[in-house]
Amino acid sequence: MRIDFYTYVHQCQRKQMFNLAMHAGEINYNEPEKLLPLAEELAVFLTGIRSHADHEDIFIHPLLRRKMPSASRTLDNEHEELKKELLNLEENFAHIQLLINHYPKRQEQGLEFYRALNRFIANYLYHIDKEEYVMQNLWEIAAAPELSGMMMAFQVYHDPEEGRKW
């Protein structure tokens, strides 16, 4: 079996993103009690995406920089752009939550958040597709001990429960 750093976690992220997008598209932003569950779901999503990016930076990208420097630069640049988009989403949603209950344009601002979330998802889907393609190339140019060494380092880095989750 080949070591694959991306597929499983990306499958989980896709499901989470699609569920988040559906939730964000269905709620009435004028009802403050509906925002709290979405805020919690968004926080879990943001934490997971950021954690995954950190894992890539620590464990995968050093090997990519040695084996595939051009692909590594592209992915690194995309990570920076995606981080900015995540921060914008977080700030946008926090602003909506701070609006008074009867603010006349609260629903419209919620719709803008929903659209921004979906733009992020579109960009992120394209990005993770590139990462999965890079993994295929790594199988061809990296030795098995290099890949298994990265996986072992990742597993040692986390406690067993956290490592299994990822």
State the pTM of this model. Answer: 0.88
Residue 156, pLDDT score: 77
3-9: long-range contacts, CB 8 A cutoff, minimum separation 24: 3/144, 3/147, 3/148, 3/150, 3/151, 4/135, 5/56, 5/59, 5/60, 5/135, 5/150, 5/151, 6/128, 6/131, 6/132, 6/135, 7/132, 7/135, 9/52, 9/166
Q: Give the pLDDT of residue 163.
A: 53
pLDDT of residue 19: 98
How high is the mean pLDDT of the chain? 90
- pLDDT for position 101: 78
Averaged over 30-59, what is the pLDDT? 93
